[in-house]
Structure 1
Amino acid sequence: MNTIQGMPIHPLLAHLAVVSIPFAALTDIVAVSWPRARRWLGWGAVAITLVAVIVTPLTTSAGESLEKTTPMNPDLARHVHLGDQMVYWVAGLFAAITVHWAAAADLSRWQWVPEVPDRWRDLARLVTTLTVIVLALGAIVWVIRIGDAGAKSVWLG
């Protein structure tokens, strides 16, 4: 399904990605940087990032269908190239926020979870905090770059 009543679905999904990816990224930064927000959000940051993970390949797939019917220009080629890379930023962010949530959560009530020494848990939190921040900022920058190239390909191409 690449169209809705003859209209390409890619622009609709792209707008959803433009909202969900930065929202997930900012939510994740808040969750890893502010303990009170992390407790309030719980696994919500992970769920919000999962939405971005789902939206990204749907948007890319719809874009690939639209690409087949659109004359190629340098801005469109750049847009396609950058768009293909977005999934790596979002998938990495999802993995990092999930590991961070697990390291910060009290999972001791579940008997199947092995006991982890505090120093290892603290190290995991530090590493995943830094990883989440870097990936979140990278994802936001990547969305801006993709959107800029896509807009130029439509309006200037």
Structure 2
Amino acid sequence: MSLVNGLPAHVLLVHVVVVLIPLTALALVAAAIWPRAARRLGVLLPALAFAALVSVPLTTQAGEWLERHVESDALVRRHTELGDGLLPWALGLFVLAAVVWWTARGTKRAVPGADPTVAAGSADAVDTAGSARGSRAAALPVRIVVAVLSLAVAAGAVVDVYRIGDSGAKAAWHDAYSKSAHGSQDGS
């Protein structure tokens, strides 16, 4: 894909990346920290991460086409180099989103295996609640690791998107405007 309505596709696709990567990062962190958020997001979390992942190489390829059609300078080359580094971050977001979604699927509000016919104060009820607490306690270190990884990858992805966007804006606009206004305020 090179042109859309006569405009370079990169100029349009970059907006998809700029929205989807931070949105995915935010949803991932929320879901990794709060299991209820993960359950509410459901399959939307990995679907959003997949859309973000797919948008990165599409935007990069359109950017490479655009790079061949503009004058080469250091700012354009820097933007291209930075843009090539976003795919691993997007892949990390997707993998972690899939892990968070998968682990949230197995957690339910009710105690797994609990027999609703067992009286709340009976020995059987205490036994089931104790084993549920034990399994939750065993899962806590995994949740903490996934939450920390999610936070790190989300922060890295968002910072990378910012750096890439900043370098792209500098490459596109560094000599394309006047610092002083021309004409009057009403446009005449």
TM-score range, shorter chain: 0.7 to 0.9
Q: What is the TM-score when the length of structure 1 is the normalising length?
A: 0.87
5+ unaligned residues in a row in structure 2: which ranges? 113-133, 176-188
Q: Which blocks of at least 5 consecutive residues in structure 1 are unaligned? A: 110-116
* Worse-superposed segment, 89-98 or 34-43: 34-43
Compared with structure 1, are the counterparts of its residues 61 and 120 closer, same or farther at alpha carbon in structure 2 (3 Å cutoff)?
farther
Aligned partners of 1:103, 1:33: CA distance in 2, in Å? Answer: 12
**When you count helix as a share of all residues, which structure comes out higher?**
1
CA shift for structure 1 position 120: 6.2
Letter in 2 for 1:141: V
Q: Could you tell me the percent identity over the aligned residues?
A: 40
Measure, in 2, the Cα distance between the counterparts of 1:97 and 1:8: 31
Letter in 2 for 1:56: V
CA contact (8 A) 2:38 2:100 kept: no
Of 144, 153, 166, 1:135 maps to 153
1:145 alignment partner in structure 2: 163
Q: Which moved more, 1:93-102 or 1:7-16?
A: 93-102
The alpha-carbon deviation at position 5 of structure 1 amounts to 3.3
TM normalised by structure 2 equals 0.73
Cα 1:14–1:143 change in 2 (3 A) is same
- Matched residue pairs, number? 150
Equivalent pair of 1:103/1:124 in contact (CA under 8 Å): no
Q: What is aligned with 1:112?
A: none
Residues 61-91 of structure 1, C-alpha deviations (whole Å, 9 max, x = no match): 1001111111122221111011001000010
Query: Shift in Å at residue 123 of structure 1?
Result: 3.5
Q: Judging changes above 3 Å, is the alpha-carbon distance between structure 1 residues 39 and 5 closer, same or farther for their aligned structure 2 residues? A: closer
| 1:100–1:124 CA contact under 8 A, matched in 2 | no
Larger Rg: 2
1:126 aligns with 2:148: no
- Deviation sequence 1:6-56 (CA, Å, 0-9, x none): 311001000111011111111111111122211211121111111100111
Give the distance between the partners of 2:40 and 2:76, measured in 1 at CA. 41
Q: Could you say what secondary structure the match of 2:26 adopts? A: helix
State the distance in 1 between where 2:82 and 2:15 align. 16
Aligned residue type for 1:67: E
Deviation at 1:121, TM superposition (A): 4.2
